[in-house]
Protein backbone atom coordinates (compact mmCIF):
# COMPACT_ATOMS: atom_id res chain seq x y z
CA UNK A 1 0.00 0.00 0.00
CA UNK A 2 2.83 2.40 0.85
CA UNK A 3 4.56 1.63 -2.45
CA UNK A 4 1.33 2.22 -4.36
CA UNK A 5 0.84 5.54 -2.60
CA UNK A 6 4.39 6.60 -3.48
CA UNK A 7 3.93 5.62 -7.13
CA UNK A 8 0.62 7.46 -7.36
CA UNK A 9 2.15 10.51 -5.69
CA UNK A 10 5.08 10.55 -8.11
CA UNK A 11 2.72 10.17 -11.07
CA UNK A 12 0.63 13.11 -9.88
CA UNK A 13 3.74 15.25 -9.41
CA UNK A 14 4.99 14.28 -12.87
CA UNK A 15 1.67 15.23 -14.46
CA UNK A 16 1.61 18.48 -12.46
CA UNK A 17 5.11 19.32 -13.66
CA UNK A 18 4.34 18.44 -17.29
CA UNK A 19 1.26 20.68 -17.34
CA UNK A 20 3.23 23.55 -15.83
CA UNK A 21 5.99 23.06 -18.37
CA UNK A 22 3.45 23.26 -21.19
CA UNK A 23 1.88 26.42 -19.73
CA UNK A 24 5.34 28.00 -19.20
CA UNK A 25 6.33 27.13 -22.76
CA UNK A 26 3.26 28.77 -24.28
CA UNK A 27 2.95 31.74 -21.96
CA UNK A 28 6.61 32.57 -21.30
CA UNK A 29 9.04 30.93 -23.72
CA UNK A 30 6.96 31.50 -26.86
CA UNK A 31 6.15 35.12 -26.01
CA UNK A 32 9.55 36.44 -24.90
CA UNK A 33 13.03 36.64 -26.37
CA UNK A 34 15.80 34.41 -25.07
CA UNK A 35 17.73 35.98 -22.22
CA UNK A 36 15.27 38.82 -21.75
CA UNK A 37 14.17 40.12 -18.36
CA UNK A 38 10.60 39.12 -19.14
CA UNK A 39 11.54 35.51 -19.79
CA UNK A 40 13.57 35.26 -16.60
CA UNK A 41 10.82 36.91 -14.56
CA UNK A 42 8.11 34.70 -16.03
CA UNK A 43 10.16 31.58 -15.34
CA UNK A 44 10.66 32.60 -11.72
CA UNK A 45 6.90 33.19 -11.29
CA UNK A 46 6.04 29.76 -12.74
CA UNK A 47 8.60 27.91 -10.63
CA UNK A 48 7.69 29.76 -7.44
CA UNK A 49 3.94 29.37 -8.02
CA UNK A 50 4.15 25.63 -8.60
CA UNK A 51 6.39 25.08 -5.56
CA UNK A 52 4.11 27.12 -3.28
CA UNK A 53 1.07 25.22 -4.57
CA UNK A 54 2.69 21.86 -3.88
CA UNK A 55 3.82 23.08 -0.48
CA UNK A 56 0.30 24.27 0.42
CA UNK A 57 -1.14 20.87 -0.44
CA UNK A 58 1.55 18.87 1.34
CA UNK A 59 1.54 20.73 4.65
CA UNK A 60 -2.25 21.08 4.93
CA UNK A 61 -2.34 17.86 7.00
CA UNK A 62 1.20 18.00 8.37
CA UNK A 63 2.20 18.83 11.93
CA UNK A 64 3.39 22.36 11.20
CA UNK A 65 2.45 25.71 12.73
CA UNK A 66 -1.00 26.79 11.56
CA UNK A 67 0.36 30.24 10.74
CA UNK A 68 2.69 28.70 8.14
CA UNK A 69 -0.24 26.83 6.61
CA UNK A 70 -2.14 30.12 6.35
CA UNK A 71 0.81 31.89 4.71
CA UNK A 72 1.13 29.25 1.99
CA UNK A 73 -2.58 28.56 1.53
CA UNK A 74 -3.64 31.81 -0.10
CA UNK A 75 -1.02 32.03 -2.88
CA UNK A 76 -0.75 28.27 -3.27
CA UNK A 77 -4.46 27.55 -3.69
CA UNK A 78 -5.05 30.57 -5.91
CA UNK A 79 -2.18 29.45 -8.13
CA UNK A 80 -3.83 26.04 -8.47
CA UNK A 81 -7.07 27.65 -9.65
CA UNK A 82 -5.20 30.03 -11.97
CA UNK A 83 -3.21 27.12 -13.43
CA UNK A 84 -6.40 25.18 -14.17
CA UNK A 85 -8.06 27.95 -16.13
CA UNK A 86 -4.81 29.04 -17.78
CA UNK A 87 -4.36 25.50 -19.04
CA UNK A 88 -7.92 25.35 -20.38
CA UNK A 89 -7.52 28.73 -22.08
CA UNK A 90 -4.20 27.74 -23.64
CA UNK A 91 -5.73 24.53 -24.98
CA UNK A 92 -8.40 26.63 -26.69
CA UNK A 93 -5.57 28.79 -27.99
CA UNK A 94 -4.04 25.75 -29.70
CA UNK A 95 -7.01 25.76 -32.06
CA UNK A 96 -6.92 29.53 -32.57
CA UNK A 97 -3.16 29.85 -33.14
CA UNK A 98 -2.92 28.15 -36.59
CA UNK A 99 -6.00 30.05 -37.79
CA UNK A 100 -4.37 33.37 -36.92
CA UNK A 101 -1.08 32.39 -38.57
CA UNK A 102 -2.91 31.30 -41.73
CA UNK A 103 -4.93 34.51 -41.82
CA UNK A 104 -1.82 36.64 -41.51
CA UNK A 105 -0.03 34.60 -44.21
CA UNK A 106 -2.93 35.00 -46.64
CA UNK A 107 -3.16 38.72 -45.93
CA UNK A 108 0.55 39.17 -46.63
CA UNK A 109 0.36 37.11 -49.82
CA UNK A 110 -2.61 39.11 -51.10
CA UNK A 111 -0.79 42.34 -50.40
CA UNK A 112 2.30 41.15 -52.32
CA UNK A 113 0.25 40.05 -55.32
CA UNK A 114 -1.57 43.37 -55.39
CA UNK A 115 1.71 45.29 -55.31
CA UNK A 116 3.18 43.27 -58.20
CA UNK A 117 0.00 43.71 -60.26
CA UNK A 118 0.24 47.49 -59.89
CA UNK A 119 3.94 47.52 -60.90
CA UNK A 120 3.59 45.38 -64.10
CA UNK A 121 1.88 47.95 -66.44
CA UNK A 122 4.45 50.57 -65.54
CA UNK A 123 7.34 48.23 -66.35
CA UNK A 124 5.75 47.16 -69.65
CA UNK A 125 5.34 50.78 -70.83
CA UNK A 126 9.07 51.57 -70.62
CA UNK A 127 10.67 48.20 -71.41
CA UNK A 128 11.59 47.38 -75.10
CA UNK A 129 10.54 44.10 -76.64
CA UNK A 130 7.37 42.30 -77.57
CA UNK A 131 3.98 43.75 -76.65
CA UNK A 132 3.06 43.50 -73.01
CA UNK A 133 0.57 40.85 -72.01
CA UNK A 134 -2.67 41.95 -70.43
CA UNK A 135 -2.39 39.56 -67.53
CA UNK A 136 0.48 39.15 -65.19
CA UNK A 137 1.39 35.56 -64.30
CA UNK A 138 1.07 36.40 -60.59
CA UNK A 139 -2.37 37.99 -60.89
CA UNK A 140 -5.21 36.07 -59.24
CA UNK A 141 -6.97 35.53 -62.64
CA UNK A 142 -4.02 33.57 -64.10
CA UNK A 143 -4.41 30.57 -61.79
CA UNK A 144 -4.16 29.56 -58.16
CA UNK A 145 -2.16 31.88 -55.90
CA UNK A 146 1.28 30.80 -54.78
CA UNK A 147 1.52 28.74 -51.60
CA UNK A 148 1.64 30.72 -48.36
CA UNK A 149 5.13 31.13 -47.06
CA UNK A 150 5.89 30.06 -43.50
CA UNK A 151 5.15 32.74 -40.94
CA UNK A 152 8.14 34.87 -40.03
CA UNK A 153 9.59 34.64 -36.52
CA UNK A 154 8.21 38.10 -35.72
CA UNK A 155 4.74 37.02 -36.87
CA UNK A 156 4.84 33.86 -34.76
CA UNK A 157 5.96 35.90 -31.75
CA UNK A 158 3.09 38.35 -32.25
CA UNK A 159 0.50 35.57 -32.48
CA UNK A 160 1.94 33.82 -29.40
CA UNK A 161 1.71 37.04 -27.45
CA UNK A 162 -1.89 37.63 -28.48
CA UNK A 163 -2.98 34.07 -27.63
CA UNK A 164 -0.96 33.96 -24.40
CA UNK A 165 -2.17 37.38 -23.27
CA UNK A 166 -5.82 36.53 -23.87
CA UNK A 167 -5.40 33.17 -22.09
CA UNK A 168 -3.76 34.79 -19.05
CA UNK A 169 -6.39 37.52 -18.89
CA UNK A 170 -9.20 34.96 -19.12
CA UNK A 171 -7.66 32.87 -16.32
CA UNK A 172 -7.13 35.86 -14.03
CA UNK A 173 -10.65 37.15 -14.67
CA UNK A 174 -12.23 33.74 -14.05
CA UNK A 175 -10.34 33.15 -10.80
CA UNK A 176 -10.94 36.71 -9.60
CA UNK A 177 -14.67 36.48 -10.17
CA UNK A 178 -14.80 33.03 -8.58
CA UNK A 179 -12.89 34.18 -5.50
CA UNK A 180 -15.14 37.20 -5.08
CA UNK A 181 -18.17 34.92 -5.18
CA UNK A 182 -16.80 32.87 -2.28
CA UNK A 183 -15.47 35.67 -0.08
CA UNK A 184 -18.64 37.78 -0.23
CA UNK A 185 -20.48 34.88 1.40
CA UNK A 186 -23.19 32.48 0.23
CA UNK A 187 -26.52 33.62 -1.16
CA UNK A 188 -29.86 32.30 0.02
CA UNK A 189 -31.65 29.76 -2.16
CA UNK A 190 -35.25 28.75 -1.45
CA UNK A 191 -36.77 25.37 -2.29
CA UNK A 192 -40.24 24.05 -1.53
CA UNK A 193 -40.47 20.30 -0.82
CA UNK A 194 -43.90 18.67 -0.45
CA UNK A 195 -44.07 15.77 2.00
CA UNK A 196 -47.07 13.43 1.95
CA UNK A 197 -46.88 12.64 5.68
CA UNK A 198 -46.31 16.19 6.90
CA UNK A 199 -49.29 17.41 8.98
CA UNK A 200 -51.15 20.51 7.95
CA UNK A 201 -49.91 22.32 11.07
CA UNK A 202 -46.32 22.13 9.78
CA UNK A 203 -47.08 23.52 6.32
CA UNK A 204 -44.41 26.15 5.55
CA UNK A 205 -41.89 24.80 8.09
CA UNK A 206 -38.46 26.23 7.15
CA UNK A 207 -35.14 24.41 7.49
CA UNK A 208 -31.97 26.41 6.80
CA UNK A 209 -29.53 23.94 5.27
CA UNK A 210 -25.85 24.83 5.30
CA UNK A 211 -23.02 22.49 4.34
CA UNK A 212 -19.34 22.58 3.48
CA UNK A 213 -18.43 25.81 5.26
CA UNK A 214 -14.80 24.61 5.34
CA UNK A 215 -13.37 26.94 7.96
CA UNK A 216 -9.61 26.63 7.67
CA UNK A 217 -6.43 28.50 6.73
CA UNK A 218 -8.27 30.57 4.11
CA UNK A 219 -11.85 30.98 5.34
CA UNK A 220 -11.85 32.06 8.96
CA UNK A 221 -13.92 33.79 11.62
CA UNK A 222 -15.09 36.62 9.37
CA UNK A 223 -16.48 34.15 6.86
CA UNK A 224 -18.19 32.18 9.63
CA UNK A 225 -19.84 35.39 10.82
CA UNK A 226 -21.19 36.12 7.32
CA UNK A 227 -22.64 32.62 7.14
CA UNK A 228 -24.32 32.95 10.55
CA UNK A 229 -25.73 36.39 9.74
CA UNK A 230 -27.15 35.09 6.46
CA UNK A 231 -28.78 32.11 8.18
CA UNK A 232 -30.30 34.20 10.97
CA UNK A 233 -31.70 36.68 8.46
CA UNK A 234 -33.89 33.91 7.00
CA UNK A 235 -35.53 33.36 10.43
CA UNK A 236 -35.66 29.56 10.06
CA UNK A 237 -37.56 27.13 12.23
CA UNK A 238 -34.57 24.78 12.29
CA UNK A 239 -30.93 24.93 11.19
CA UNK A 240 -29.19 21.88 9.70
CA UNK A 241 -25.38 21.92 9.43
CA UNK A 242 -24.70 18.90 7.24
CA UNK A 243 -20.98 18.34 7.54
CA UNK A 244 -17.56 19.60 6.44
CA UNK A 245 -17.63 22.49 8.85
CA UNK A 246 -13.84 22.66 9.20
CA UNK A 247 -10.44 21.85 7.74
CA UNK A 248 -8.26 21.79 10.81
CA UNK A 249 -8.12 21.08 14.49
CA UNK A 250 -10.19 22.56 17.30
CA UNK A 251 -7.02 24.10 18.66
CA UNK A 252 -6.38 26.04 15.44
CA UNK A 253 -9.94 26.78 14.36
CA UNK A 254 -11.92 26.96 17.58
CA UNK A 255 -11.94 30.81 17.52
CA UNK A 256 -12.99 30.81 13.86
CA UNK A 257 -16.02 28.65 14.67
CA UNK A 258 -17.12 30.81 17.62
CA UNK A 259 -19.78 32.77 15.65
CA UNK A 260 -21.78 29.54 15.28
CA UNK A 261 -22.98 30.11 18.84
CA UNK A 262 -25.04 33.02 17.51
CA UNK A 263 -27.25 30.88 15.24
CA UNK A 264 -30.92 31.20 16.16
CA UNK A 265 -33.87 29.01 15.17
CA UNK A 266 -37.14 28.07 16.87
CA UNK A 267 -36.23 24.40 17.14
CA UNK A 268 -32.47 24.86 17.37
CA UNK A 269 -29.45 23.93 15.23
CA UNK A 270 -28.35 20.36 14.46
CA UNK A 271 -25.06 18.99 13.15
CA UNK A 272 -23.77 15.85 11.45
CA UNK A 273 -20.19 15.04 10.59
CA UNK A 274 -18.69 15.23 7.11
CA UNK A 275 -15.63 13.50 5.73
CA UNK A 276 -13.39 16.47 6.59
CA UNK A 277 -14.31 16.27 10.26
CA UNK A 278 -12.66 12.83 10.30
CA UNK A 279 -9.51 14.43 8.91
CA UNK A 280 -9.63 17.13 11.60
CA UNK A 281 -10.49 15.27 14.81
CA UNK A 282 -14.19 14.37 14.63
CA UNK A 283 -14.68 13.63 18.33
CA UNK A 284 -13.19 16.95 19.37
CA UNK A 285 -15.32 18.85 16.87
CA UNK A 286 -18.50 17.09 17.93
CA UNK A 287 -17.82 18.26 21.48
CA UNK A 288 -16.93 21.75 20.26
CA UNK A 289 -20.15 22.26 18.32
CA UNK A 290 -22.10 20.98 21.30
CA UNK A 291 -20.42 23.70 23.40
CA UNK A 292 -21.45 26.24 20.77
CA UNK A 293 -25.09 25.26 21.14
CA UNK A 294 -25.53 22.90 18.21
CA UNK A 295 -26.95 19.43 18.76
CA UNK A 296 -24.91 16.67 17.10
CA UNK A 297 -26.92 13.78 15.66
CA UNK A 298 -24.53 10.83 15.76
CA UNK A 299 -26.62 8.04 14.24
CA UNK A 300 -29.47 9.44 16.28
CA UNK A 301 -33.00 10.77 15.94
CA UNK A 302 -35.11 13.38 17.66
CA UNK A 303 -38.88 13.64 17.45
CA UNK A 304 -40.05 17.13 16.59
CA UNK A 305 -43.75 18.06 16.79
CA UNK A 306 -44.36 17.53 13.04
CA UNK A 307 -41.71 15.04 11.90
CA UNK A 308 -38.73 12.93 12.92
CA UNK A 309 -35.30 14.47 12.40
CA UNK A 310 -32.45 11.95 12.11
CA UNK A 311 -28.75 12.22 11.40
CA UNK A 312 -26.05 9.71 10.49
CA UNK A 313 -22.27 9.90 10.72
CA UNK A 314 -20.36 10.32 7.49
CA UNK A 315 -19.17 7.26 5.58
CA UNK A 316 -15.57 8.41 6.08
CA UNK A 317 -16.00 7.47 9.74
CA UNK A 318 -16.06 3.78 8.82
CA UNK A 319 -12.26 3.91 8.78
CA UNK A 320 -12.43 4.77 12.48
CA UNK A 321 -15.03 2.16 13.37
CA UNK A 322 -17.95 4.60 13.07
CA UNK A 323 -19.81 5.60 9.94
CA UNK A 324 -23.55 5.67 9.24
CA UNK A 325 -25.83 3.35 11.20
CA UNK A 326 -29.31 3.63 9.71
CA UNK A 327 -30.77 0.93 11.92
CA UNK A 328 -29.74 2.85 15.02
CA UNK A 329 -30.97 6.19 13.70
CA UNK A 330 -34.20 5.05 12.05
CA UNK A 331 -34.86 1.41 12.86
CA UNK A 332 -37.55 1.65 15.54
CA UNK A 333 -39.41 4.79 14.51
CA UNK A 334 -43.08 5.23 13.69
CA UNK A 335 -43.21 5.20 9.89
CA UNK A 336 -46.53 6.97 9.82
CA UNK A 337 -44.60 10.15 10.67
CA UNK A 338 -42.53 12.06 8.11
CA UNK A 339 -38.78 11.62 8.44
CA UNK A 340 -36.06 14.11 7.47
CA UNK A 341 -32.49 12.78 7.40
CA UNK A 342 -29.26 14.76 7.67
CA UNK A 343 -26.41 12.94 5.89
CA UNK A 344 -23.33 14.65 4.51
CA UNK A 345 -22.82 12.55 1.39
CA UNK A 346 -25.57 11.96 -1.18
CA UNK A 347 -24.33 8.40 -1.80
CA UNK A 348 -26.27 7.07 1.19
CA UNK A 349 -29.58 7.88 -0.47
CA UNK A 350 -30.30 4.21 -1.23
CA UNK A 351 -30.01 3.36 2.48
CA UNK A 352 -32.36 6.24 3.20
CA UNK A 353 -34.89 4.84 0.72
CA UNK A 354 -34.78 1.41 2.36
CA UNK A 355 -35.45 2.96 5.77
CA UNK A 356 -38.46 4.98 4.65
CA UNK A 357 -36.91 8.46 4.78
CA UNK A 358 -39.09 11.13 3.17
CA UNK A 359 -36.37 13.77 2.65
CA UNK A 360 -32.58 13.55 2.83
CA UNK A 361 -30.54 16.76 3.16
CA UNK A 362 -26.90 16.53 2.01
CA UNK A 363 -23.89 18.47 0.77
CA UNK A 364 -20.36 17.27 0.02
CA UNK A 365 -20.31 17.83 -3.76
CA UNK A 366 -19.86 21.64 -3.79
CA UNK A 367 -21.79 21.42 -7.06
CA UNK A 368 -18.42 20.64 -8.62
CA UNK A 369 -16.96 23.95 -7.27
CA UNK A 370 -14.62 24.51 -10.24
CA UNK A 371 -16.02 23.89 -13.71
CA UNK A 372 -15.56 21.37 -15.31
CA UNK A 373 -15.29 19.60 -11.93
CA UNK A 374 -19.05 19.09 -11.98
CA UNK A 375 -18.60 16.33 -14.56
CA UNK A 376 -16.25 14.49 -12.20
CA UNK A 377 -18.66 15.02 -9.31
CA UNK A 378 -21.44 13.43 -11.37
CA UNK A 379 -19.38 10.25 -11.64
CA UNK A 380 -19.14 9.87 -7.85
CA UNK A 381 -22.52 11.15 -6.65
CA UNK A 382 -26.13 10.29 -7.52
CA UNK A 383 -27.06 13.99 -7.38
CA UNK A 384 -24.57 16.85 -7.61
CA UNK A 385 -26.89 19.71 -6.68
CA UNK A 386 -30.59 20.39 -6.30
CA UNK A 387 -33.67 18.29 -5.60
CA UNK A 388 -34.30 14.84 -7.05
CA UNK A 389 -36.57 11.92 -6.21
CA UNK A 390 -35.47 8.33 -5.53
CA UNK A 391 -38.54 6.16 -5.13
CA UNK A 392 -40.58 7.60 -2.27
CA UNK A 393 -37.58 9.56 -0.96
CA UNK A 394 -36.53 13.03 -2.04
CA UNK A 395 -32.88 14.10 -1.93
CA UNK A 396 -31.75 17.71 -1.74
CA UNK A 397 -28.04 18.44 -2.22
CA UNK A 398 -26.66 21.87 -1.34
CA UNK A 399 -23.68 23.29 -3.23
CA UNK A 400 -22.28 24.37 0.13
CA UNK A 401 -21.38 27.71 1.66
CA UNK A 402 -17.59 27.71 1.44
CA UNK A 403 -14.89 26.10 -0.66
CA UNK A 404 -12.23 23.46 -0.25
CA UNK A 405 -8.70 24.22 -1.44
CA UNK A 406 -8.86 27.27 -3.72
CA UNK A 407 -11.32 29.83 -2.31
CA UNK A 408 -12.83 29.96 -5.78
CA UNK A 409 -16.09 28.77 -7.34
CA UNK A 410 -16.77 28.71 -11.06
CA UNK A 411 -20.14 27.57 -12.35
CA UNK A 412 -21.22 26.43 -8.87
CA UNK A 413 -22.18 29.43 -6.71
CA UNK A 414 -22.26 28.87 -2.97
CA UNK A 415 -25.56 28.80 -1.17
CA UNK A 416 -27.48 28.46 2.05
CA UNK A 417 -30.77 26.79 1.21
CA UNK A 418 -34.03 27.43 3.00
CA UNK A 419 -36.04 24.24 2.49
CA UNK A 420 -39.70 24.99 3.03
CA UNK A 421 -41.72 21.88 3.79
CA UNK A 422 -45.20 21.73 2.30
CA UNK A 423 -48.04 19.58 3.55
CA UNK A 424 -50.20 17.97 0.88
CA UNK A 425 -53.05 18.21 3.35
CA UNK A 426 -52.91 22.01 3.34
What local confidence, expressed as pLDDT, does residue 130 receive? 54
What local confidence, expressed as pLDDT, does residue 111 receive? 67
pLDDT, tens only, 352-403: 999 999 999 999 999 999 999 999 999 999 999 999 999 999 999 999 999 9
What local confidence, expressed as pLDDT, does residue 126 receive? 52
What local confidence, expressed as pLDDT, does residue 101 receive? 86
What local confidence, expressed as pLDDT, does residue 385 receive? 97
Residues of the chain with pLDDT under 70: 1-2, 108, 111-112, 114-152, 426
Residues 6+ apart with CB under 8 A from 394: 193, 195, 358, 359, 360, 387, 388
What local confidence, expressed as pLDDT, does residue 179 receive? 97
What local confidence, expressed as pLDDT, does residue 4 receive? 82
Amino acid sequence: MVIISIVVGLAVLAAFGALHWYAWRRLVRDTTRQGSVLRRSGSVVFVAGSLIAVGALMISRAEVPFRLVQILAWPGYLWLAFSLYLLLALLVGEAVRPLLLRWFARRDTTAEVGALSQQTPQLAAVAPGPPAVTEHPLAPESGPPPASAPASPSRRLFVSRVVGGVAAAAAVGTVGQGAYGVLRGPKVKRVTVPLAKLPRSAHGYRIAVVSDIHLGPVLGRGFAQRVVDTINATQPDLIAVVGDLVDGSVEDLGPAAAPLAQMRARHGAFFVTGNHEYLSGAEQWVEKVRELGLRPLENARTELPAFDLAGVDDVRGEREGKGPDFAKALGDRDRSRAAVLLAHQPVVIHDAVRHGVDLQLSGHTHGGQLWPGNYLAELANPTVAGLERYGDTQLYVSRGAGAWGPPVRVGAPSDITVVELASRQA
